[in-house]
Amino acid sequence: MPYAAHPVGTHPSTTASLGGIHVSSSASSLQVEAFDLVIFGGTGDLAIRKLLPAMYHRFAEGQIDRASRIIGIARAELNDASYRKIAREAVLKVDKNAPEQRLEAFLALIHYRSLDGRKDAGWSEFAKFIGEKPDNVRVFYLSTSPSLFVDLCQKLGKHKLNEGRARVVLEKPIGTDLGSADKINDDVAQVFDESQTYRIDHYLGKETVQNLLALRFGNALFEPLWNAEHIEHVQITVAETVGVGHRAGYYDDSGAMRDMIQNHILQLLCMVAMEPPSSMAPDAVRDEKLKVLRSLKPINAARTPQLTVRGQYRAGASEEGSVPGYEEELGHPSNTETFVAIKAEIANWRWAGVPFYLRTGKRLPERLSEIVVTYKSVPHSIFDQDAGALAQNRLVLRLQPDEGVKLWLTIKNPGPGGLKLRHVPLDMSFLEAFGGQLPDAYERLILDVVRGNPTLFMRRDEVEAAWRWADPILDAWTDSNEVPRPYTAGTWGPSASVALIERDGYTWNEEND
Ligand code: BG6
C-alpha cells in the first residue's frame, strides 16, 4: 500500500464560493502502474526545479506505487545518497512543510547512476539494474541537450531497454530547424517507435490549456460564435519577468522564437483554433492541431519586417531591483532575441481574416500568460451617447498566475440615474473556485506517459509543421542582418510591438484586474 495522503483514488472534495455560487470539485487521482522513471539530465535545472517536485506531489496524492523507481542520470559522480539529498532539497524548496515521514518514503524510490551517453562505461550495469523490475513501465526522460538524444537512444537500444513497455520522452525544442528536427526524429525512430515517443510541451499540461478544450467543446455556448464571423482578433501572450540567467548558454543558441514560439505558443494557438475533434483519442486531437499548423499562412522574407518584431532586453528594473542586460548576462555581444511579437494568420474558412497576435519575452514587467479572444462589436448600438461607449466582449483565459477564465460583458450600471453601460467580467479564478493547489503541468504529463496516453504530446508531423512555418521567419531575420530591437528590462518589449498591433486598430490587452 503506497503512502497516501488521501485514500487512493480520490482527492478530498472541495466546495468553494464563486461569486456567491458554490462549486464543488472531486477530481480523482487513480494510482498508476509501477514504473521506472529514468531522468537523463538528472542534475539539471528541469529535473531539480520541476520533475522531482512533480513526482513528489503525485506520490503525496497516492498515485505512485512503491514498486516504482525514479532514477537520476548524469555524468557527475554522485550516488543514491547524495542524489537523495539533492532531491530532498528540491522538494523542500517547493513544499517546505513536506512531512518528514512522507518525504523519506518518497526518497526511498530515488536512485542515481552516473552515465555518459557518449561512452560505454556503466551501461551494462545500468541495464541490469533496470532489468531487476521487468514488469515496471519504463520511461526514459531525455532532459538533456537535443545533441545527446541520438547517443542516448542508441545506447538504450543497444542494451534492449527500448523493448516491452518502454517509452521515451523528448524535451523541446526538438532541433533548431526542420532539418535538424528531422534528423533527430529519424535517429530516435530507429530505436523507438512513434507510439513510444512522447514529445513533451509542458504548456499542454497546464490546467487552463486543457480547460480550453472543456470550455470550447463542453459548452454549447462558445462554438457557434468561434469563427471569423464573430471573432475580431486573438492575442496570445506569454510574458516572463525572469532573464536568462544561468541558462544563457542554451538560450543564446535558441532565442525566443525557438524556445517559446515554435512550440508552446503555436500549441496554444492550435488549441484555440482547431476544429472539434471527434473524440479525445490521441490522434483525433493531434490530427486537428496538425491541420491548424499546416494552415498557418507562411511569412516570407518580404513580409517578415511588417509581421514580426524581435527584441533584446537591456539593463533595467525587475521585481528583483536593477538587473543587467542580456549581453551583460551572457558576457559577449549577441544577436539572439529575448522578445518576439508576430501577427499570424490562419488560412482556412473558420479563421480567414482573423489576426492572431503572438507575443513572448523575458524581463517583461509581469509574469503573465493569457489567451484573449476579442469578439466583434455589436452591429448597431441602440443606446444614446450618454450611456457610454459599448465595449466588445472578450474571453480571457489566464494560464498563469491565478489560472482562470474571465468573460467580459456589457451590463447596465446598477442604480438610478439613467441607463449607463458598464463593462464587467464574469470571473472565475480556479483557485478560488476549487481551492487547494493546482497540479503542475509536469505532474499530469509524466503520469500520462506512464498510462500510455499521448493526447497531450506533440506528434512528429506537428513538430515538423511548426518548424516549416518558423524556419522562413528565422531565415529572414538571419539574412537581414538586423540586430534585435533593444528594450529596457521591465517594459513590455520594443515599441515596434505596440505598433504591430496598433496598425490594425487594436491594443495589447491590459485589463487584467
Ligand atoms: C520553457 C522555456 O520551455 O518554458 C523557458 O525553455 C521558459 O525559457 C519556460 O522560461 C516557461 O515555462 P512556465 O511554465 O514557467 O511558463
Q: Pick the closest to residue 235 from 354, 402, 361 (CA basis).
A: 354
- Cα dihedral: 446, 452, 454, 455 (round 10): -100
pLDDT of 29 over the 90 cut? no
Ligand 1 atom at minimum distance from 254 CA? 6
Q: Are 450 and 33 in contact (CB under 8 A)?
A: yes
Q: Are 285 and 277 in contact (CB under 8 A)?
A: yes
Residue 269 C-alpha to ligand 1 middle, in angstroms?
17
In 260-315, at which residue ranges do the beta strands (DSSP E only) sit? 308-314
The protein residue with its alpha carbon nearest to ligand 1, atom 2, reads: 259
**Is the CB–ligand 1 distance for residue 207 below 6 Å?**
no
pLDDT of 250 over the 70 cut? yes
Is residue 324 domain-resident?
A: yes
Neighbouring CB atoms inside 10 A of 227's CB total 14
Q: Residues 221, 130: one domain?
A: no
Neighbouring CB atoms inside 10 A of 274's CB total 23
Q: Rounded to a whole number, what is the distance in angstroms from the first to the last CA of the chain?
A: 46
pLDDT tens readout for residues 158-204: 999 999 899 999 999 899 999 999 999 999 999 999 999 999 999 99
**Residue matched to cell numbers 525566443:** 256
pLDDT tens readout for residues 102-124: 999 999 999 999 999 999 999 99
**Is the CB–ligand 1 distance for residue 259 below 6 Å?**
yes
Residue 131 C-alpha to ligand 1 middle, in angstroms?
34
Rounded Cα distance between 285 and 27, Å, is 23
Q: What number of CA atoms fall less than 13 Å from residue 43's CA on the CB side?
A: 15
**Is the CB–ligand 1 distance for residue 36 below 6 Å?**
no
Q: Residues 457, 383: one domain?
A: yes
Pocket test for ligand 1, best of 199, 200, 260, 398 (most atoms within 8 A of CB): 260
Q: How many domains does the chain have?
A: 2
Is residue 370 domain-resident?
A: yes
Cβ-proximal residues to 504 (8 Å cutoff; 6+ apart), any chain: 233, 343, 355
pLDDT of 437 over the 80 cut? no
Q: Residues 263, 137: one domain?
A: no
Q: Residues 314, 419: one domain?
A: yes
Q: What are phi and psi of 470, to 5 degrees?
A: -75, -35
Give all strands of the β-sheet with 137-142 in edge-to-edge order: 110-114, 69-74, 35-40, 137-142, 166-171, 197-200
Active site residues: 264
Q: Which of 171, 189, 219 is the last residue of a domain?
A: 171
Q: Which of 122, 149, 171 is the last residue of a domain?
A: 171
pLDDT tens readout for residues 403-413: 899 999 999 99
Ligand 1 atom at minimum distance from 242 CA? 10
Is residue 192 domain-resident?
A: no
In angstroms and rounded to an integer, the radius of gyration of the C-alpha atoms of the chain is 24
Q: Residues 304, 215: one domain?
A: yes
pLDDT score at 28: 54
pLDDT tens readout for residues 32-86: 999 999 999 999 999 999 999 999 999 999 999 999 999 999 999 999 999 999 9
3-state class of 97 per DSSP? coil
pLDDT of 364 over the 80 cut? yes
Q: Residues 364, 486: one domain?
A: yes
Residue 245 C-alpha to ligand 1 middle, in angstroms?
13
Neighbouring CB atoms inside 10 A of 305's CB total 13
Q: Are 469 and 295 in contact (CB under 8 A)?
A: no
Find the mean pLDDT for residues 207-218: 91
Residue 55 C-alpha to ligand 1 middle, in angstroms?
19
The protein residue with its alpha carbon nearest to ligand 1, atom 4, reads: 260
Range of the domain at 70: 28-171
Q: Give the DSSP per-residue string, 205-217.
A: GSHHHHHHHHHHH
pLDDT of 18 over the 80 cut? no
CA angle 241, 246, 247 (to 5 degrees): 80
Q: What are phi and psi of 238, to 5 degrees?
A: -125, 100
Is residue 119 domain-resident?
A: yes
Sign of the dihedral through C-alpha 17, 22, 23, 24: positive
Q: Residues 153, 268: one domain?
A: no
Find the DSSP H helices in 339-486.
430-434, 441-451, 460-480
Is residue 12 domain-resident?
A: no
β pairing state of 339-344 and 308-314: antiparallel
The protein residue with its alpha carbon nearest to ligand 1, atom 10, reads: 240
Q: Residues 255, 150: one domain?
A: no
Q: Are 287 and 459 in contact (CB under 8 A)?
A: no
Is residue 23 domain-resident?
A: no
Q: Which residues pair with 123 in a beta bridge?
A: none
Q: Which of 171, 187, 217 is the last residue of a domain?
A: 171
Q: Residues 296, 158: one domain?
A: no
Q: What are phi and psi of 340, to 5 degrees?
A: -140, 135
pLDDT tens readout for residues 144-154: 988 899 999 99
- CATH code for the domain of 495: 3.30.360.10
Ligand 1 atom at minimum distance from 400 CA? 16
Q: Residues 339, 439: one domain?
A: yes
**Is the CB–ligand 1 distance for residue 240 below 6 Å?**
yes
Is residue 13 domain-resident?
A: no
Rounded Cα distance between 370 and 396, Å, is 7
Q: Pick the closest to residue 169 from 467, 474, 445 (CA basis).
A: 445
- CATH code for the domain of 114: 3.40.50.720
- Cα dihedral: 447, 451, 454, 460 (round 10): 90
Ligand 1 atom at minimum distance from 251 CA? 8
Q: Pick the closest to residue 256 from 149, 334, 178, 324 (CA basis).
A: 334
Cβ-proximal residues to 433 (8 Å cutoff; 6+ apart), any chain: 16, 18, 23, 25, 404
- DSSP secondary structure letter of residue 261: I
CA angle 279, 284, 285 (to 5 degrees): 90
pLDDT tens readout for residues 257-304: 999 999 999 999 999 999 999 999 999 999 999 999 999 999 999 999
Mean pLDDT (the chain, rounded):
92
Pocket test for ligand 1, best of 209, 240, 247 (most atoms within 8 A of CB): 240
Is residue 400 domain-resident?
A: yes
Q: Residues 349, 434: one domain?
A: yes
Cβ-proximal residues to 211 (8 Å cutoff; 6+ apart), any chain: 397, 405, 430
Q: Residues 210, 158: one domain?
A: no
pLDDT score at 146: 87
